[in-house]
Chain A
Amino acid sequence: MMTAIFATMFLALLAGWLGRSAIAVGILIVCLALSVWLFLFEIYSPATGFRMPWLQTELGAPAPCAASCAAREA
């Protein structure tokens, strides 16, 4: 995928340099879309996705007391 991103960026630069502005912008937008997709993939991929374990983004498991305390209150 990264190869496709750099290939489209190179083609966009080349087309822009050769004066084909409309084609160049079109290819650049494809490149941007692929880049955004890959960025999101890198973030959310369960296999290779990057994590930030020091940031608590979900409610953790209930505290050890929670179950027994709830039962006692009931």
Chain B
Amino acid sequence: MPSTDRPIAYRKFSGQRGTLISVEQLWAGDDHLLLVSTSFAVEQYRRFYFQDIEAFVIRPTRTQRKWVIANSICLGLFGLLTLLVVGRHPSNDAIAGGIFLGVVATLFLIALLYQLVKGPSCVSFLQLRTGLERLGAANRVRLALRMRDRLAALIGAAAEAKAMAPTVP
């Protein structure tokens, strides 16, 4: 039975990741992943068909650990400075300085908590028949594992649908 050329229904597969100029996001179709790279008003598409995806490879990195150490050092430094400034010279200027240093310390605390909540970092790749493709959006191990599980479910569903495809009598 012939099918009409209806638009493909895509579901969001990953969050957006990129710079101010260009953003990447993965979308899931019935039989492929679509990588959408948006630069201003132009969208470029790359398709990774499930039948070509051989493996999902996660390579853990030390990026998160480095950020945690750097933020912890800065937090400790500014926290100590705040205590020193406010504790020893309780004048108006000292309190203003203490507030400023406290705000900076709080920013480092937020950055530290953000890194701890997001979890260990990684880089993720799809191995296709044609080579490796880096997935920019899967940059945390927890997120990458979630994406891998969703991908496995999609590949399984696509294989079932393919088995039920019409054939000529």
- Report whether chain A binds chain B: no
